[in-house]
Amino acid sequence: MGVCLVTGGGGFIGSHIVRGLLERGRTVRVLDDFSTGKRENLAEVADRIELIEGSICDVPTVERALRGVEVVFHLAARASVPRSVEQPRPSHEINVTGTLNLLIAAQAARVRRLVYSASSSAYGDTPALPKRIDMRPQPLSPYAVSKLAAEHYCACWSHVYGLSTVSLRYFNVFGPRQDPTSAYAAVIPAFVARMLRGERPIIYGDGEQSRDFCYIENVVDANLRAAEVPEAHGEVVNVACGERTTLNQIVADLNRLLGTNVQPIYEPPRAGDVRHSLADITEARQLLGYEPRVLFAEGLRRSLDWYKANLK
């Protein structure tokens, strides 16, 4: 594998993929404008990567970033369902137009494979479980619409223009370096940060909503496999563990690990949130040879250890 470009490499997932590539001896270039990513996520590997600071919305920057690149791992995005509900236009501009910029430039640069970080939010709140790739998408938020639109663009570029793409629909990724401080923080770091301070975690809804939480190590493995498997050309694949955990169960597990008895605060449900999510990972197994290495309980323990050591 030649030069690997990681867009959004300063983010939570991107910075883990950067390390996974470096561990395998790859040459890594990162494109990030650090609007949400953090420089400290790359600090310990800064001398081993090439960093281009800029946005996927800027075409000349994207074209420069793609020179000599063999594989692209596309993670740059404006995440968060609630933020997209409040501000839909930036979600579209970054997630859709930014991806289109990247696809056009990647085709021109003769990139061998583009691995796109898609989202399970594409499924919406359909009651059928588990979520299968052949289900009709029903996105409920501007974020979900934008991620699905970019996924369709990737498939189009594979089928019409011959640029090989693979879209990985992530289900609730968690792990070390996931930011607990944002107003839009994901549920696990938000719970952990509050409980480590002796504060009650906030649950929007009754806490019985469930998710297929996927530890970051599994996601890195899926990305590296997706970059190499020829049969995955133009495909969409769920990346998850195939197990479901409620938010109330997370609080109970954290109380057990911390030796505490902190009870959550329940607030009204948020617009755009889905009730239950669980992945069918058949395609990931068959196409990528993927198998989740770290299941939820072990991933939660590892994450808690990291936050204990790193949260100020």
Any idea of the CA torsion for 240, 204, 207, 251, to the nearest 10 degrees? Answer: 80
All residues at 6 or more sequence positions from 177 whose CB lies less than 8 Å from its CB, including other chains: 12, 15, 16, 41, 306
* Residues in Cβ contact with 135 at an 8 Å cutoff, skipping those fewer than 6 apart: 123, 126, 128
Phi and psi dihedrals of 241, rounded to 5? -110, -15
Side-chain-side CA neighbours of 235 within 13 Å: the count stands at 17
CA dist., res. 204 & res. 258, Å (int): 22
What strands, in cross-sheet order, belong to the sheet with 165-170? Answer: 50-53, 27-32, 3-7, 69-74, 113-119, 165-170, 235-239
> Is position 215 annotated as part of the catalytic site?
no
Beta-bridged to residue 3, according to DSSP, are 27, 69
- In the set 116, 123, 143, 290, the catalytic residue is 143
By annotation, the residues acting in catalysis are 143
